[in-house]
Amino acid sequence: MEDYLLVTENLSKLYKGVAAVDKVNLHIKKGCIYGLIGKNGAGKTTIMKMISGMASPSSGSFSYVGFNGGTDEAFSRIGVLIEAPALQPNLTAYDNMKMKCLAYGIGDKQYINDKLELVGLGKVGKKKAGKFSLGMKQRLGIALALVGEPDFLILDEPINGLDPQGIVEVRELLTKLNEEKKMTILISSHILEELAKVATDYAIINNGVIIEESTNAELKEKCRDKIVIKSADVSKILPILDSNDFSDYQVIDNNTIYVYNRLNDISILNMEIAKAGIMLDSIGVEASDLEEYFLKVTGTVTGDIA
Amino acid sequence: MFLRLFKSELFRASKFKSTYILIIVLFVISMFLNLVTLKFDFLGVYGMDSEQYIRLAEGGNSMEGVNDAAQVGTIMGESMVTSNTEEVKILGEGLFYSADIPTLFQIHVSDLDPIMLLAIFVGIFAGDIISTGVNKNLVISNNKRNLLFAARATVIAIYAVIIHIFTWLFTLFGAAIWAEKVDLGWSQHAVGYWFVSLLLTIVFAILIYAITVLTKSKAAGITIGVVLSTGALSLIISIADWAIKKKLDVKSDFSVANYLLTENLGSLRVDYTNTALIRALVVAAFYTVVGIVVVAVINKKRDLA
């Protein structure tokens, strides 16, 4: 069994009888950056709220198997930024931090300054949070989530409102926290390309249901450009692939083969298969990035992805 | 954990401007009340002379009764009090010019202005949690959230104590300026009144906190608190009394008001009877339990927004 930090089992949440989250099974490994992908209202935030104690599951359970003390210990080792950052607008960034630090028994002034510095707010610590831009609020929200050096960081759309430089900084920060402090991170974002740059594992959620859970490598494999062959005679096609140097392939099911090399030689492959007298349903090159893949698996034609 | 949460909440409360402004408002209100009770010459304003006052007082009328008589006499044109408008004067010896501090303090407390200001503080302090969603920063299970409630209730109770102490200090200050003498008038009853009225004040604050949490509304908490402390429910209470007396076999002196926090606080006197004291304590205990149960159930059942 892998070294999991959090496992959910049929985790569900009903609102007025409607399932916002339906029998979700997540397996979050220790030390991973776990990307939660889904449209608006797919159930990402609800999942995050349930596993951070903000909402009670209607049924199912979650277990912090990576913590010896169970949920209580886990809750003391979790940092969260869920939905909009919860800030006191009448307080400065420093005082917002101090309020949380006091609740965590941290009284060190330098600690607060270091955290503000870490998220790029070192120079605006005395500015009231109510006067912050959206991006600055996000940064402060991340700084608040980092108070107490959590082992598990839950970030809901953390790069919302950030400028391009801010996005890069947050990405680098998350990577640094993950690599240097071995922090496990659960993150959702509507900017899938950005998510793809940091996440090591993914779950795609749609209408409260997990469509698939995969590693970054598996997802990249699925998103690779490839020749897709559809035929009822898959077994007869394989020797032709081998003998014509189309060696990097994968049999997906009884009717489908993906070929990942010599994509420009599709006409040659088509001709060789035809020469062998094998009927094809279709053959063609398919290119997809994470976004396209997401749209495909969730059955989304157009619309906002978040 | 409680202590850490308490420190955090105390820090939050200390950062609200309203925490200090309300004390200043209390000072202004208190000084106005001091001026009216100690220096405002009701008799002079209504053109009453001292003989009329003595006659009314000897007739067994209380100071409030004399005050009422003066107003009735003027407004209704009754012959009981003859106004002499040529002798109108505003400042002089107020109705409570010679009263001791506990009596003056009781006037301030029973006026319910301090708890009105307290309700505003509680509404702001508790409502802010809802409007900012600041609870989300603290990852704790719903069960442990009761500790957070306890920490906040403690901060609210401390502010209630501060309001109570300042009310007493401002009473003393006003008396030092405008009263005939400063008579601390300490007695067992005076001390008892001080603490029982404090208890009712704290419980009122906790109840407003519970209402704010229940309604998830800063405005609701403040509005209900202000309405309760301004006596605006008296008409509803009268109707309820009438309805209950009509339907149920209750004593003629029964009143719903006897079972309300604000009415107990408003009617409690320094020279309280044992019945009034026990009733106040029972009412305080009842509403404490109600407040705690309401918040505990909400904490357990309600998800964070």
ipTM score of the complex?
Answer: 0.78
- Given pLDDT bands bounded at 50, 70 and 90, which one contains residue A41? confident
Cβ–Cβ below 8 Å for B7 and A104: no
Dihedral sign computed on CA atoms, order B281, B282, B283, B287 = positive
Whether pLDDT at B88 is above 90: no
Q: What is the pLDDT of residue A94?
A: 94
Residue A54 contacts B, CB cutoff 8 Å: yes
Chain A residue nearest residue B129, CA to CA: A88
- Vertex A206 angle, CA A204 and A208, to 5°: 110
> What pTM value is reported for the model?
0.81
Residue A103 contacts B, CB cutoff 8 Å: yes
Tokens 């120079």 correspond to A123
Q: Give CA–CA dist B8/B4, Å, rounded.
A: 6
Comparing B124 with B43, the larger pLDDT belongs to B124
For residues A9 and A25, is the Cβ–Cβ distance under 8 A? yes
Q: Describe the strand order of the beta sheet including A209-215 as a list of residue ranges.
A: A78-81, A152-156, A184-188, A33-38, A201-206, A209-215
Chain A residue nearest residue B141, CA to CA: A53
Whether pLDDT at A301 is above 60: no
From A186-195, B9-18, B260-269, the region with the lowest mean pLDDT: A186-195
Cβ–Cβ below 8 Å for B15 and A95: yes
- Given pLDDT bands bounded at 50, 70 and 90, which one contains residue A302? very low
- Given pLDDT bands bounded at 50, 70 and 90, which one contains residue B79? very low
Residue-wise pLDDT for A43-100, tens only, equals: 999 999 999 888 889 999 998 888 877 777 788 888 999 888 888 888 999 999 999 9
Q: Give CA–CA dist A111/A106, Å, rounded.
A: 8
Most confident option among A292-296, B174-178, B236-240: B174-178
Residue-wise pLDDT for B165-184, tens only, equals: 999 999 999 999 988 888 88
Cβ–Cβ below 8 Å for A54 and B304: yes
Q: Give CA–CA dist A297/A305, Å, rounded.
A: 12
Q: What is the pLDDT of residue B75?
A: 46
Cβ–Cβ below 8 Å for B303 and A99: no
Token output for B60: 């067994």
What distance in Å separates residue A237's CA from the closest CA in chain B? 56
Q: Which residues of A277-306 are buried (b: 16+ CB within 10 A; e: fewer)?
A: ebeeeebeeeeeebbebbbeebeeeeeebb
Cβ–Cβ below 8 Å for B134 and A71: no
Tell which of A99, A101, A109, A146 to mutate to test the B interface (max B CBs under 10 Å): A99
**Chain B residues inside the 8 Å CB shell of A88:** 12, 15, 128, 132, 134
Residue A107 contacts B, CB cutoff 8 Å: no
What distance in Å separates residue B292's CA from the closest CA in chain A? 20
The partner residue sitting opposite A86, judged by closest CB among B5, B12, B137, is: B137
The partner residue sitting opposite A102, judged by closest CB among B11, B16, B140, is: B11
Residue-wise pLDDT for A118-174, tens only, equals: 888 888 888 898 888 888 888 899 999 999 889 999 999 888 778 888 888 888 888
